[in-house]
Homo-oligomer: A and B are copies of this chain.
Amino acid sequence: MAYLFVHEDREYLLEPGERFESDLGILEVPEDVAPGDVVETHLGTGFTVRALRGPDLFTHLKRTGAPMMPRDVGLVLGKTGISGGDRVLDAGTGTGILAAYMGRAGAEVVTYERDADFAAVARENMAVAGVADTVEIRTGDVTDDLDDLAGFDALTLDTEDAPTVVERAPTLLARGGSLAVYSPFVENTRETVAAAREVGLDGIETLDTIQREMDFDDRGSRPSTGGVGHTGYLTVARRP
């Protein structure tokens, strides 16, 4: 399990037994290193050891595309309530940020990624995030396995063919289970909503989220002049 080694503004992700060189000297990571330890380089610079936390995942996971942003990951968690003991079916793993967050919240996650290289990176990422045991990454297309999947507490999709999967929500989900579909485009979102209506899901809702940073300086307080753009629409629904 990897840890963060922090010295002032520097932050390195290293594993027990790893040897790391920088201008601050050579850092030999002890096999039994633990959060809270301070490890010194051969030049005497101390690095504090820290476990990765959720926000660190956005900085330290290997990216295989634009990962879902914290606000969208949070919106999925807030609207679905995925938590301890839940079984989640996820598709479109990508970097795996959402899967890692759900795993860290106590869910058992099965996630599908069609690209074998992306899936391999995502598996490494789950190890870094400490959820290798609870997040299973399957290489392949979830639509090929729909007959064998059933009774999940939540279904989270970030794939173009989400509408096809949503049509199967009544068997994929347990009663009361939640669906969350993330899509950048209106048309795809509309098809997802149509599929959710077709199969009789409840509480279907599509959210468009706009977020701005606030600036506070000596002249006053105001929303930032730097804009924050669109990420994606989130459609949620529940099996009645």
Binding site for B on A (CB under 8 A): 4, 6, 48, 50-51, 53-57, 69-84, 101, 104-106, 153, 175-178, 184-190, 193-194, 203, 205-214, 216, 219-231, 233, 238, 240
| Oligomer copy total | 4
Decide: A104 near B81, CB < 8 A? Known: A175-B48, A185-B222.
yes
CA of A18 to CA of B55, assembled, Å: 43
Sorted nearest first, the 5 A-B pairs with minimum C-beta distance are A54-B81, A74-B78, A227-B227, A185-B220, A83-B104
Partner of A206, one of B71, B189, B203, B214: B214
Q: Which residues of B contact A83 (CB under 8 A)?
A: 54, 101, 104-106
Q: Which residues of B contact A184 (CB under 8 A)?
A: 220, 222, 225
**A57 and B81: CB pair below 8 A?**
yes
Partner of A75, one of B74, B178, B206: B74
**A214 and B233: CB pair below 8 A?**
yes
CA of A136 to CA of B222, assembled, Å: 32
CA of A208 to CA of B48, assembled, Å: 34
Q: Which residues of B contact A81 (CB under 8 A)?
A: 53-57, 101, 104
Decide: A79 near B70, CB < 8 A? Known: A175-B6, A212-B230, A220-B186.
yes
Most central of A72, A177, A221, A224 by chain B CB within 10 Å: A221
CA of A105 to CA of B186, assembled, Å: 32
